[in-house]
Structure formats: C-alpha cells, structure tokens
Copies of this chain bind each other. A is one copy, B any other.
Amino acid sequence: MTDEQLRVAVVGAGIMGTDHIERLATRTKGAMVAAIVEPDGSRAAAASALAPDAAVHARIEEALDAGGVDAVLIATPGPFHKAVLLPALEAGLAVLCEKPLAPTVEEALEVLEAEQRLPAPRIQVGFMRRFDAEYAALESLVRSGDAGELLLLHCAHRNPSVADTYTESMTITDSVVHELDVVPWLAGAGIGAIEVRAGRRNRASRFADPQLVLLELENGVLADVEISVNAGFGYQVTTEAVFERGVAEIGRAAGPIRAQDGRVGVAEHRSYTTRFAAAYDTEVQRWVDAARRGGIDGPSAWDGYRVAVASAAGVEAQRTGRRVEVAPQQAPAFYRP
C-alpha cells in the first residue's frame, strides 16, 4: 500500500532529526522516510543508515523538486525553520515543525501569512508535551471540572546540565518555551503577562539559574515556573495543578522501586529523550494520521506564534526585571477550531 504511506522528508539530521528518522522508520505506522535533507555529509550518511531507501539531499528545494514527498518534518535549528517552512507550504505539504515555530515574532507572522494562503492549516508545531499521557490526563481533569475550576499551576523544569553554547536567554526561548505552550493549553487561556526572577545562583552555572517565571493568564489563573538548567540530579518536569476542590500533580518519576544502600526509590530521568519518549512517538503518529487525512492534530502555527510572542516578552522580562504584558493578535478565523 505504498500510496497510503505518508512519504516524509526529514529536514535536519542532528540528534533530534536522527531520532525522528529512526522513529518514522521503525515505529510510526503509515509513514516512511522518503528523503533526508542534511547539508552535512557525515550526518546525512549516519542518518541514511537508519532509512536506507530514503533519498538524501543537501537542500529542501532539491527534495521538493525530486518529488515523491507528501510531508516535511523540520528538525533543524530554529533560525533555519522559515527557509524550510515557506517552500514546504508553497508545495502544499503537511509539516511537523520542531519547536519553536520561528525564533522571532516577525518570522512567525511571515509563516502564518504564507500558511493562510492554503485552504487549511498544514503546520503542526512540535510541542510534544501535549502528547504526554500525564499532561493529557491533567488537561482532561481540567476540562472535566471534577475537581472544580483550575486556580494555580506550579511548574518545575529541571535539566541536569546544558551545553556550553546555552545562554541565559535560552532558558526562556529554548526551555520555558515548552511551558509557554503547555500552560495556556492546560489553563484554557492565553498568557497576559510574564515576569522573571532570579535569586541565589547555582555555583555550577555561568548565568542566573535557577529562575522563577511568573505567568498571569487571561482567565486569572497564575502559574509559577521554576527553570533550573544545572540541576545535576536528573531531568525532571513536573506540574502541580491547584483546583477548587483538590490538587493534582504530574511528572513524578515512576518505574521499579528499589530499596538498596539505605534508600528506597525510583530512578529519575536524565534527559528529555526518555522522559518524553512516548510523547514523541504519540505526537508523530498522530501527526502522520492527521496528515494522511489532510489536517493536523496538535499545536498549530498560531499556537507557535503565540509562544513566540510570549517568549519575546519573557526575554524582555528577564532582561529588565519587570513585568511585561503579552499581547498577541486575535486569532484569525483560519486558525479557530
């Protein structure tokens, strides 16, 4: 049933792209890696070993010209997203674009504009947390009203360490960006204002770390987000949701409980690759299923734009120490559900 398999061009064969190639080649039902787009020859060769039948190209335009591609999965660094998104939209292909949609609000708007020339949204943005089983359960709990209305969210986002190239503003644009998507999604309201606080610095850090990010949502829900990128002990992403009649927490480590050496407990994740492994699988499967039907099933480019707006406000808040209001445009009818 070749004609029914979604033929995906994966753009970017770094860690993330290679992971997606392996996923599409071995686990995602109904999809195949038709092309790998990667200018770096050795990366392209390594990725190609995972999907031997895929064509290899150095540039997206080549892949599109060669044909035989139904969809594009973009896993390049953010600054290169627009250059892939625009021709992919032009070709009318389905797109899964790793977060962020674009590094600036301006670029995000440019992408929105291009997409709106199509009959319907084709871009899904890779905020994979929405596909994590616990986040999804928490979102269902909010929607159900079983514990009353949602009032507060306490989030923690802890990385064991970051690369030398990671800078202070990336705590917002690269890390908290996930909360900038998932908090409004959980709360059912956009971000109205953002503040960033830093206190005592972890001596393992080159910049302010940890930081406390305060989000005011348009429906009154408050969220605090601890971002720690030198946490050392493990990779931990938790949310505690305070409702009118109860509290729910997600992100506690699970797995075999070991009693050894005087302690009893479970292993913590060390990386997003294990913490969100199932979420990535679900995200990609649902995108493929939707793309084969001509739609998307997850965060849209509009969601990506809103995150870009909040992210820019967050960087300003971080730089100035002030509360910064977040004022995205109204969603056009094109993006309304």
Chain B: CB-nearest residue to A23: B29
Per a CB cutoff under 8 Å, which of B199, B234, B249 touches A256?
A: B249
- Give CA–CA (A149, B230) in the complex, Å: 13
- The answer to whether A242 has its CB under 8 Å from any CB of chain B is yes
- Enumerate chain B residues within 8 angstroms of A270, measured Cβ to Cβ: 262
**A154–B233 touching, CB < 8 Å:** no
- Supposing A204-B244, A255-B133 touch, asked if A264 and B262 sit within 8 A by C-beta, the answer is no
- Supposing A210-B242, A212-B222, A262-B267 touch, asked if A158 and B247 sit within 8 A by C-beta, the answer is yes
**A200–B212 touching, CB < 8 Å:** no
Stretch at the interface among A56-64, A77-85, A134-142, A168-176: A134-142
- The answer to whether A296 has its CB under 8 Å from any CB of chain B is no
- The answer to whether A283 has its CB under 8 Å from any CB of chain B is no
- The answer to whether A41 has its CB under 8 Å from any CB of chain B is no
- Give CA–CA (A267, B250) in the complex, Å: 13
**B199–A151 touching, CB < 8 Å:** yes
**B236–A138 touching, CB < 8 Å:** no
Per a CB cutoff under 8 Å, which of B224, B249, B253 touches A224?
A: B224
**B247–A262 touching, CB < 8 Å:** no
- The answer to whether A115 has its CB under 8 Å from any CB of chain B is no
- Give CA–CA (A27, B240) in the complex, Å: 32
- Supposing A29-B27, A219-B200, A265-B266 touch, asked if A248 and B244 sit within 8 A by C-beta, the answer is no
A209–chain B nearest beta-carbon distance, Å: 9
**B197–A222 touching, CB < 8 Å:** yes
- Give CA–CA (A247, B249) in the complex, Å: 16
**B228–A212 touching, CB < 8 Å:** no
- Give CA–CA (A5, B29) in the complex, Å: 11
- Give CA–CA (A212, B223) in the complex, Å: 10
Chain B: CB-nearest residue to A245: B232
* Residue from A27, A158, A250 whose CB has the most chain B CB atoms within 10 Å: A27
> Mask for A17-35, Cβ within 8 A of B = 1, else 0?
0000000001111001000
**B253–A264 touching, CB < 8 Å:** yes
**A233–B220 touching, CB < 8 Å:** no
Chain B: CB-nearest residue to A141: B256
- Give CA–CA (A149, B210) in the complex, Å: 12
- The answer to whether A152 has its CB under 8 Å from any CB of chain B is yes
- Enumerate chain B residues within 8 angstroms of A333, measured Cβ to Cβ: none
- The answer to whether A68 has its CB under 8 Å from any CB of chain B is no
**B252–A248 touching, CB < 8 Å:** no
* Residue from A133, A246, A247, A263 whose CB has the most chain B CB atoms within 10 Å: A247
- Enumerate chain B residues within 8 angstroms of A200, measured Cβ to Cβ: 149-152, 219-222
- Supposing A134-B256, A258-B248 touch, asked if A199 and B221 sit within 8 A by C-beta, the answer is yes
14 contacts between A and B (CB under 8 A): A147-B258, A148-B203, A199-B221, A210-B242, A233-B247, A234-B262, A246-B259, A246-B261, A248-B257, A250-B256, A264-B266, A264-B267, A265-B266, A278-B278
